[in-house]
Amino acid sequence: MRNTSNPADTLDHDIADRLKTLRLERGWSLEALSGRCGVSRATLSRLENAEVSPTASVLGRLCSAFGLTMSRLMSLVEADFVPLVEHESQQVWQDPKGGFQRSNISPPSQALAAEMIECRLAADTTIDYPEPPNAGIEHHLYMLEGRLTLKVGDSVHRLRKGDCLRYRLSGPSTFNTEKDHSARYIIAMV
C-alpha cells in the first residue's frame, strides 16, 4: 500500500508506474531499455518498483529513450487536464541528490504541446543530458535569478538574471552552476 500522506512519495510511485507502463507498451525488457538509455538493469528495476527516486540525469536518459520530454512524462503522471493550476498545487519534483528541483507550471495536458517549467539548480551543480528526448525541440530559457552556464552541443552560454536564450536541442546539453551561485529559471518548450 502506498504512503499517500507525503505527496513526494505518491509522485515517485506514479513516476515508477508510468515508467514501467511506457516500457511495457513498447514491448521492451529491462535489458532492452538499459541498452537504449545507458542505465543499469538493476537501477531500472529499482526505479520501476519505486525503491529509489530517479535523478534528473537518469530521468533525462529515460525520457530520451522513450522520446518524451521530462515535462511530458510528468504530464502523463497527471490524471486530468485542468486549465488553471494554482501555485500551491503545481507539481514539484526534487532530484534525490538535492541539487535540482523542477515545478511544472503549465497545467498538464497530454493534448497540448507547449510546456513551461520552473527550475532551481543549487550552487556547484552539474546536470548532463546525453541527448534530447526529441531532436529539434525548441526551448526558451529565461533566467529569474542567479547564474547558469548552459552548453548546448558545441555552444556555451553564460546566463544571468534577465537573460533569455532560445535554442533547439539536437545533441547533448549540460546545465552547470558555479560554486557560489545557484540558478532559478523558466524553460518554455515547444
**Sign of the dihedral defined by the CA atoms of residues 109, 110, 115, 117, in that order:** positive
pLDDT for residue 1: 32
Query: What pLDDT, on the 0 to 100 scale, is given for residue 4?
Result: 40
Supply 159's cell numbers.
Answer: 546566463
Cα–Cα distances in Å, from 168 out to 22, 27, 148, 164, 188? 25, 30, 18, 14, 12
For 32-69, write each residue's pLDDT tens digit: 999 999 999 999 999 999 999 888 889 889 999 998 88
Please give the share of the chain, as a percent, with pLDDT higher than 90.
Answer: 51
How many CA atoms lie within 13 Å of 72's alpha carbon, on the beta-carbon side? 20
10/189: higher pLDDT: 189
Q: At which residue does the C-alpha cell 497527471 appear?
A: 78
- What tens digit of pLDDT does each residue of 155-189 get? 999 999 999 999 998 889 999 999 999 999 999 98
The residue written with cell numbers 518524451 in the block is 68
pLDDT on residue 8? 55
Segment 13-31 mean pLDDT: 89
Spatial CA neighbour of 117 closest among 99, 129, 102: 102
Grid cell, residue 108, equals 498538464
Range in 4-13, 21-30, 67-76 the model is least confident about: 4-13
pLDDT band at 80, cuts 50/70/90? Answer: low
Q: What are the strands, taking DSSP E only, across 47-154?
A: 91-94, 100-104, 115-121, 126-129, 137-152
| Mean pLDDT score across all residues of the chain | 87
pLDDT of residue 2: 35
Residue found by looking up cell 497530454 in the block: 110
Q: How confident is the model at residue 124, as a pLDDT?
A: 96
Q: What is the pTM of this model?
A: 0.64
Mean pLDDT of the 117-145 span = 92
Instruction: List, in sequence order, the alpha helices (H) in the chain.
Output: 7-25, 30-37, 41-48, 56-66, 70-77
